[in-house]
Amino acid sequence: MNEEKERGSSLFEVRRENSMLAGRSSREAIPSAVMTRAHREKLQLCDALEKIADALPNVDRLKCLGIANAIVPLLRNIHQYEETIIFPAYEAATGGSNNIASTRRLRAEHVEDECFAGEVTEILLAIGHGERVENAEAVGFMLRGFFESMRRHIAFEREHVLPAIGIIDQGAI
């Protein structure tokens, strides 16, 4: 258990951390390590999807299955963490209607990304289970639309949201 803590927070344990942190309100309570790791994992997912898109119509079916199984739970956990811990802290720290509008947009993007992730999962599962890639261009276009949108979302959070609440993401420097 202690060893697990030392390795850093797993995104799949975010729910537990949320409940532990729910009663805290100071900036010091915001776990920058969790957020840095969350963005890193999302960017790794983007890189993996880009590799798949670049290699089309050739595919690594096992890799497609692995990503298909991880993508939705990963996004849901990260989004839940941001929406319950990070965004409220950002709104409290900065105030102002512009920032409220920003978090509203970011929350809407989370919903869109999760819907999109469901579609990407279906495609990757089909490919992973042996279906031929009939239209590589269309699949590539879909994958690129998904990961490019996620990268833009992450860049905004790193440049605007996290610094405002005292989190400096080293990966963004």
Helix H or strand E segment including 44: helix 32-55
Find all residues with CB under 8 Å of 96, minimum gap 6, and list them: none
Helix H or strand E segment including 116: helix 97-128
Which is nearer to Fe ion, 79 or 139 (by Cβ)? 79
DSSP code for 34: H
- Site residues for Fe ion, 73-92, by CB under 5 A, read 82
Q: Does 113 bind Fe ion (CB under 5 A)?
A: no
Which is nearer to Fe ion, 82 or 169 (by Cβ)? 82
Which is nearer to Fe ion, 143 or 150 (by Cβ)? 150
Least distance CB 114 / Fe ion (angstroms): 11
Distance CA 101, CA 96 (A): 9
> Which one-letter amino acid corresponds to residue 122?
E
Least distance CB 68 / Fe ion (angstroms): 21
Least distance CB 157 / Fe ion (angstroms): 5
Residues that bind Fe ion (CB under 5 A): 82
